[in-house]
Amino acid sequence: MPMESVSPSIGWGVLHLLYRVDRERAEQDPGAAKRIVDAVASLEADGHHALVFAVLGHKADLGVMAYGPDLARLHAFQQELLVGPLVPDSSFVSLTELSEYSASEDDEEARLRSEEGLTDPLEIEARLVVWRERIEHYRENRLHPQLPRRKVIGFYPMSKRRQGEDNWYRLPFAARKELMAGHARIGRTYAGRVLQLITGSTGLDDWEWGVTLLTDDPVVLKDIVNEMRFDDVSARYGEFGPFYTGLVLEPRDALERVGLR
């Protein structure tokens, strides 16, 4: 019996699933790879998305990032992957979201006046029209991402620190917004070199956010995380979980890499 759809009122559900391959079971199940490939194809035919990657290092063998509008459909996909030689190693549940610290239209108008010295209301409004179009595109990509194919994926969970004087949640909102604006400026310097998707997991998993990075150059993964760690948002208030890095491949190629044919 099909499960009733469970769709977030804002954004999409996101699953990061990490597996180990049971080599003995894989040898006894020559059809496993095809079933997994078919499961991915079926998920995507239902309006959802999946990135499959071979994990570098020994934290896991195979990773799948599945995301889309229906949590029930994502759960069904998760169960389909269990019928075979994939042994669950780790997972992370989150939702796509908009940042509460994003610049508002009032912020942008104030910036145009203070930084660019604009005073003509007509000129300001013309610039705001362009800003509204850009921010709408940005928000759509945050909530309903269409992730481009890149060669390398990096993923890690994180939370904001709550200890002593370094308690993020005791800071006034204005102070937090100013800190996050500086953090975001660093991220924007990597535009075109890395795609960043921040998903929210507060109340859904053990950490508060998941960070997914996609790039063609693994050096960029190291550089962006290293540079951001010197910013107060990370250096003073950030707590980080395990990092996973993988090679994004077509599902069949990723499965062959980890010994499933």
Give the residue numbers marked as catalytic: 156
DSSP for the chain? -PPPP---SSS-EEEEEEEEE-HHHHHT-TTHHHHHHHHHHHHHHTT-EEEEEEESSSS-SEEEEEEES-HHHHHHHHHHTTSSSEEEEEEEEEEE---TTSPPHHHHHHHHHHTS----HHHHHHHHHHHHHHHHHHHHHHHS--PPP-SEEEEEEEEE-EETTEEGGGS-HHHHHHHHHHHHHHHHTTTTTEEEEEEE-TTTSSSSEEEEEEES-HHHHHHHHHHHHTSHHHHTTEEE---EEEEEE-HHHHHHHTT--
